[in-house]
Amino acid sequence: MEQVENIKDIIIIAGENKADIDWLRQHLNQEGYSVISSQTARELIAELEILPVCSMSVLLVIIEAKMLINPGDDLITQLSECAPDVPFVLYDRANILPSVEELLSGSTKHLMTTGSELSQCIFGTQCIKILEFAEAELLNLDQATADAQTVLTMSSAVIEIADLAARMVKPEVKALADEAIDLLEDIQLKRQCIMSDAHKESLFALINDIKRHALNGNKTLITNN
């Protein structure tokens, strides 16, 4: 862990991309904030556990969402337990960075949650990102047109959702994703990748149901535009 002296309020930047971390650190230092960084979830957990012991308060954690998806791991649960009230802001390269005051007030389009809600927020965020891509593919598909690539793309998306739901123990979402997988397999194998209006309506309905279940409980999710 990095050594910080005579500092009480800390912002932690957690990410795998060193260029992003350095840019964010410089940006926040210019705003007058003290910053430390971690490149793995385990480093972040260690910092969140030890800083309060050193009379330091974590004001904010800015983190890459992809750091928190790790099959067979309980890191998200550990983060939730060691920092239940610490604000977490999820970012990506296309969407960084307003002022800290804007982040803490929730008056931005960034995704924000607290440690206690982190697991649900990460799951919902990842699902929505995947489904929006699949939904766009479905909207662009012409009626009664054979399009094997679109069917394959959508299948890959819902398989990814099913895998994520299984890893994060979301049985309702897993069941809906499996239903979508079965429907797409039927379209691919029995319908020669020709998607009827009825097929499209069924897939849109399944996508909406998955979104609803994936976001269930995201009371602290902020997505202001």
Query: Quick check: 50 and 1 in contact, CB under 8 A?
Result: yes
Q: What is the pLDDT of residue 95?
A: 54
Q: Which of 31-35, 63-67, 97-101, 120-124 shows the lowest per-residue confidence on average (mean pLDDT)?
A: 97-101
pLDDT tens digits, 65-79: 667 665 444 666 777
Q: What are the chain's domains?
A: 9-108 (3.40.50.2300), 123-215 (1.20.120)
- Total-model pTM: 0.59
Q: For 145-186, how does the pLDDT look when each residue is reduced to its tens digit (9 = 90+)?
A: 557 888 888 899 999 999 888 877 788 999 999 999 999 999
